[in-house]
Amino acid sequence: MNAPISIPETVPDNTNRLAAIAAGEPFTSEIHPELDQEQSCLETRNFNLHYGAKQALFDINFKVPKGKVTALVGPSGCGKSTLLRCVNRINDLIDIVKIDGEMTLEGDSIYAPGVDVIELRKRMGMVFQKPNPFPMSIYENVVYSLRIDGENNKKVLDEVCERSLRGGAIWDEVKDRLHESALGLSGGQQQRLCIARAIAAEPEVLLMDEPCSALDPIATLKIENLLEDLKGQYTVFIVTHNMQQASRASDYTAFMYLGRLIEYGPTPTIFQKPHLQETLDYVTGRFG
């Protein structure tokens, strides 16, 4: 973590509020007014999630603005991945998950009964924490989402493949070996391939769960540069552990703690003068 190291002698005055959250007292998220002017792509209302008896998300009310990069930060285990995985309903695969509240994509409810989950997922792309290329060629990896839709026109596939790989900033490295196994790529290349795969189907929102955490610094740098390229092209919702990454690549930053959304606002404000002391403590590395 690239935050100032200076740890204040005096205990910060937020201990009480954090303790209150830990004790389960009700809490209202601090949402900056700038967000009201944004057109929303993704929205949640009173969103709660339980893993069995354990609650992981508490009354999340928030929105991801269209065409912007939104970063989600917070200490480990605070529910960032959980929230992200709710968006494309990958959490449905876990039997014990119980959800209540509302979530919408472009106004369409995600959790309403009768929603076609598969059609829903086709509107999003997702990049996982660990690169997960499929056991097939680079080419087939990229066009996977088209293949499963039954697209077999070589011209279309070739075009999408090239465009996506360029979008993933990996075209030049793999253009001569498109038909070799994707598992032969390095970790960083694999992750950029996964990004290319995720944008191949022109998703309405791109979900990323700590896409750099399993990579070495050079690969991380490449992906961060790529994130800046993606900014402005896609609606991106990215979970990150890295404050620098969040501050550099995102337009908005949300801070989560213990399953609650604490503060959410424009990235510069969150990093320089957040409304809450806890947020400042976290982004400056005083806890977390």
Partner 1 sequence: MNDTQTSSDKQSSVPATRRRISSPAASLISRAEPALWLTGGSMVLCMVMIISLLSFVFYNGTKTFWPVPIVEATLHDGTVHMGEVTRRGTFIPPASRLDEMPESFRKVVEDNDGEASRKLIRTGNFRVSGEHFNWVADFEVAEGGLKEPEWAVLLERLTWGRFYGTPLKFQIGEEVVADTPEATWEQFKSHHGEVRERRERRRKLEKKGLGKLNHAMEKRRLAIRQTELEFGKDSDEYRKVVEDNRQPLDTLSQKYDALVKEIQALDQENARFVMTMQTASGQDVDIHVSEIVRAYPANRLNAGNKVGIYISRWIEYLTSEPREANSEGGVWPAIFGTVLMTLIMALLVSPIGVLAALYLREYAKPGPIVTVVRIAINNLAGVPSIVFGVFGLGFFCYIMGGTIDEIFFSEKLPSPTFGTGGILWAALTLALLTLPVVIVATEEALAAVPNSMREGSYACGASKWQTIKRIVIPRAMPGVMTGMILSMARGAGEVAPLMLVGAVKLAPELPFDSYAPFLHLERSFMHLGFHIYDLGFQSQNSEAAKPMVYTTTFLLILIIFLLNLTGVGIRAKLKKRFKGSAV
Q: How far is the CB of 146 from partner 1 (least distance, A)?
A: 9
If binding is defined by CB under 8 A, does position 97 make contact with partner 1?
no
If binding is defined by CB under 5 A, does position 242 make contact with Mg ion?
no
If binding is defined by CB under 5 A, does position 44 make contact with Mg ion?
no
If binding is defined by CB under 8 A, does position 51 make contact with partner 1?
no
If binding is defined by CB under 5 A, does position 253 make contact with Mg ion?
no
Query: With contact defined as beta carbons under 8 Å apart, do 255 and 262 qualify?
Result: yes
Residues 59-98 that bind ligand ADP (CB under 6 A): 74, 76-82, 94
Query: With contact defined as beta carbons under 8 Å apart, do 243 and 285 qualify?
Result: yes
If binding is defined by CB under 8 A, does position 185 make contact with partner 1?
yes
Residue range at the interface with Mg ion (CB under 5 A); choices 52-60, 73-81, 151-159, 240-248: 73-81
Phi-psi category of residue 118: left, alpha or beta, with phi > 0 → left and psi -120 to 50 → alpha: alpha
Q: How far is the CB of 135 from partner 1 (least distance, A)?
A: 5
77 binds, among Mg ion, ligand ADP, partner 1, none (CB under 5 to 8 A by kind): ligand ADP
Contacts with ligand ADP, 94-133, as mask; x by CB under 6 A: x---------------------------------------
Nearer to partner 1, 56 or 201 (CB): 201
Using the rule CB under 8 A, which residue among 14, 214, 241, 277 binds partner 1? 214
If binding is defined by CB under 6 A, does position 56 make contact with ligand ADP?
yes
Nearer to partner 1, 35 or 42 (CB): 42
**Cβ contacts of residue 144 below 8 Å, gap of 6+?**
134, 136, 197, 200
Q: How far is the CB of 55 from ligand ADP (least distance, A)?
A: 9
Q: Where are the beta strands (DSSP E) in the chain?
A: 30-31, 40-51, 54-65, 69-73, 97-105, 108-109, 124-127, 205-209, 236-239, 252-257, 260-266
What would you measure as the largest C-alpha separation in the chain, in angstroms? 66
Task: Return the H-helix or E-strand segment holding 283.
Answer: helix 277-283
If binding is defined by CB under 5 A, does position 235 make contact with Mg ion?
no
Residues 160-179 that bind ligand ADP (CB under 6 A): none
Contacts with ligand ADP, 254-283, as mask; x by CB under 6 A: ------------------------------
Concatenated DSSP letters of 121-160: HHTEEEE-SS----SSBHHHHHTHHHHTTT---HHHHHHH
Query: With contact defined as beta carbons under 8 Å apart, do 193 and 141 qualify?
Result: yes
Cβ count within 10 A of residue 151: 14
- The sheet with strand 108-109 has its strands ordered as 54-65, 40-51, 97-105, 108-109
Residues 119-138 that bind partner 1 (CB under 8 A): 119, 121-122, 124-126, 128, 130, 132-136
List residues binding ligand ADP (CB under 6 A): 51, 56, 74, 76-82, 94
